[in-house]
Amino acid sequence: MSHAVSRLRDERLARSTKPFIARGSRAPRCPGCRVIFSYCLCAWRSHATAVSAMCLLMHDTEPLKPTNTGWLIADVIEDTHAFGWSRLDVDQRLLALLDDPQWQPYLVFPGEFVAQERVVNQVAKGSGKRPLFILLDATWTEARKMFRKSPYLERFPVLSLAPEQISRYRLRRSRRDDHFCTAEVAALCLELAGDTEASQQLDAYLDVFTAHYLGAKYQNPIDPDDAVHERLKAWL
């Protein structure tokens, strides 16, 4: 299946002068889900209906990483757009998307790093425009650099999330519990916009992906009838 992140991955690979080797990539991986074939996730892919859309602004190698959860967002949310980030060479398709009058863009970033007049904590309702959430898909250090060096994003409100729950994403390397993976951030944004079922569906899909990825990593069997898989079955 081709979607915005898989197409961006293909574009990035076409520019590579040497192959990208992910950690632990000894066994062949399914091109559809990036998990080794014996733990393939493709049969569990589901599609959600949402008013909101996602705009993933991805740091250089993010589309290539098998642990990247922006891919999961594109699997579930049909209106997902993905662009490679560059400080100097801004994709004109990105600028056209941000100027499209059907959208109300929100740049999702912690409010503590932003002038308070730009910060919002809710998604506006009744404006006649659909929410477009701009997610900086990168490590925290890279995301801060992207935020500072993307002047074309300065005109948009900054949506600052203050969720109560602690991140459950077990593939992440951040030591801070308040640093969420990209799919978790997307699910929280969907919830704020009123796309509650899509939020829950993405969250369930993330849990199944995590189970399959870690199962493959540690060679643990997958139980398709456990609580994680049963939750996602409601949308299959």
Q: Among 5, 1, 13, 101, which Cα is nearest to 41's?
A: 1
The CATH number that applies at residue 110 is 3.40.1280
Report angle CA 6, 143, 197 to the nearest 5 degrees: 55
Q: Is residue 43 part of a domain?
A: no
Would you say 44 and 236 are in contact if contact means Cβ atoms under 8 Å apart? yes
Would you say 143 and 149 are in contact if contact means Cβ atoms under 8 Å apart? no
The position carrying tokens 């049969």 is 43
- Token code pair at residue 205: 């899909």
* Per-residue model confidence as pLDDT tens digits over 98-138: 999 999 999 999 999 899 999 999 999 888 999 999 999 99
Which residues have CB under 8 Å from 11's CB, separation 6+? 84
Q: Is residue 112 part of a domain?
A: yes
Provide the domain count of the chain: 1
Looking at the predicted structure, is the pLDDT value of residue 17 above 80?
no
Return d(Cα 86, Cα 149) in angstroms, integer. Answer: 9
Looking at the predicted structure, is the pLDDT value of residue 174 above 60?
no
Looking at the predicted structure, is the pLDDT value of residue 23 above 80?
no
Q: Is residue 223 part of a domain?
A: no
Q: Is residue 218 part of a domain?
A: no
135, β-bridge pairs: 56
Return d(Cα 145, Cα 68) in angstroms, integer. Answer: 19
3-state secondary structure 136-147: EECCHHHHHHHH
Q: Taking each helix axis from N to C terminus, what angle separates 182-192 and 196-218, rounded to the nearest 10 degrees?
A: 160
Q: Is residue 168 part of a domain?
A: yes
| DSSP β-ladder status, 53-58 and 103-108 | unpaired
* Per-residue model confidence as pLDDT tens digits over 61-93: 999 999 999 999 999 999 999 999 999 999 999
Q: For residue 78, how far is the Cα from the chain centroid?
A: 13
Determine the length of the chain. 236
Looking at the predicted structure, is the pLDDT value of residue 20 above 60?
no
User: What value does the mean pLDDT take over residues 24-29?
Assistant: 74
Q: Is residue 200 part of a domain?
A: no
24 band by pLDDT with thresholds 50, 70 and 90: low
105, β-bridge pairs: 132
Q: Is residue 60 part of a domain?
A: yes
Which residues have CB under 8 Å from 30's CB, separation 6+? 36, 37, 40, 41, 42
User: What value does the mean pLDDT take over residues 47-55?
Assistant: 97
Q: Is residue 216 part of a domain?
A: no
Residue 136's domain comprises 4-12+50-195
19 band by pLDDT with thresholds 50, 70 and 90: low
Return d(Cα 196, Cα 205) in angstroms, integer. Answer: 14
